[in-house]
Amino acid sequence: MPDSSELARPVRLRAVIVGIPGVGKTTIVGALLKMIKGSRVANFGSEMTAEAKRLGWATERDDLRKLPVEKQRRLQKLAAVRISKMREQVVLIDTHVFIRTPEGFWPGIPFDIAVALKPTHIVLLEATPDEVLARRLKDGTRRRDEARKADIEADLALARQFVAITSTVTGAPMLMLRNDSGRSADAAGSVAKVLKEAMSR
């Protein structure tokens, strides 16, 4: 039975927010940061990029997926260590569900990384293939490879499989939400509600 100090200890949540490029993940994460007091965003890609620059392996974030998988795994582990040390009550972990590399699809949260992060929640954001394609075309801040609608449909289906496996391995509940155009506040509100309820337990 837990002692009184354990019962009084604030609940720390680590919510992994994933989705293929173009589902509006950055928008949702930004909204959650404003909705949930005491939260912090941990962008896995940014942490990996910082380490890659330090090691002289890349000059910008879009270079990461072109690195050999061995180097990407090392960067992932370094990023996971940094994120695991964050002590905010709610850490919103912004990452990719998988990454296309020259060697094939690579999981954004491999087994060892999932175990190290110990997520309490996993959120998969989705959108229609047409919306994903439109958002990618509008995003001039990132250098993205061209994609066809059929590829996006396949990626959305693959994302569900990756998330289901991660949920099974970690025991963290999985939440799948549609982020339709003009409804991002609703999607963010649904996630915030779940996390706030978990904080109050």
CATH number for the domain spanning 129: value is 3.40.50.300
Q: Is residue 5 part of a domain?
A: no
Residues 40, 90: contact at Cβ < 8 Å?
yes
Binned at pLDDT 50, 70 and 90, residue 128 comes out as: very high
Q: Is residue 78 part of a domain?
A: yes
Q: Is residue 7 part of a domain?
A: no
Q: Is residue 6 part of a domain?
A: no
Enclosing H/E stretch for 163:
helix 149-170
Percent residues over pLDDT 90 in the chain: 60
Kindly state the tokens that stand for 35.
Answer: 């909705």
Instruction: State residue 51 phi and psi, 5-degree precision.
Output: -70, -40
Helical packing angle, 184-199 and 25-35, nearest 10°: 50
Q: Is residue 35 part of a domain?
A: yes
Separation of alpha carbons 69 and 72, rounded Å: 5
77-81, 99-103, 105-109, 158-162, range with greatest mean pLDDT: 158-162
Binned at pLDDT 50, 70 and 90, residue 6 comes out as: very low
Helical packing angle, 149-170 and 129-138, nearest 10°: 100
Number of domains composing the chain: 1
Q: Is residue 4 part of a domain?
A: no
Residues 95, 61: contact at Cβ < 8 Å?
no
Q: Which residues span the domain enclosing 168?
A: 12-199
Q: What is the pLDDT of residue 1?
A: 47
Q: Is residue 38 part of a domain?
A: yes
Q: What is the pLDDT of residue 141?
A: 60
Lowest-pLDDT choice from 6-10, 48-52, 85-89, 172-176: 6-10
Q: Identify the three-state secondary structure at position 79.
A: helix
Q: Is residue 1 part of a domain?
A: no
Q: Average pLDDT of 5-31?
A: 83
pTM exceeding 0.75: yes
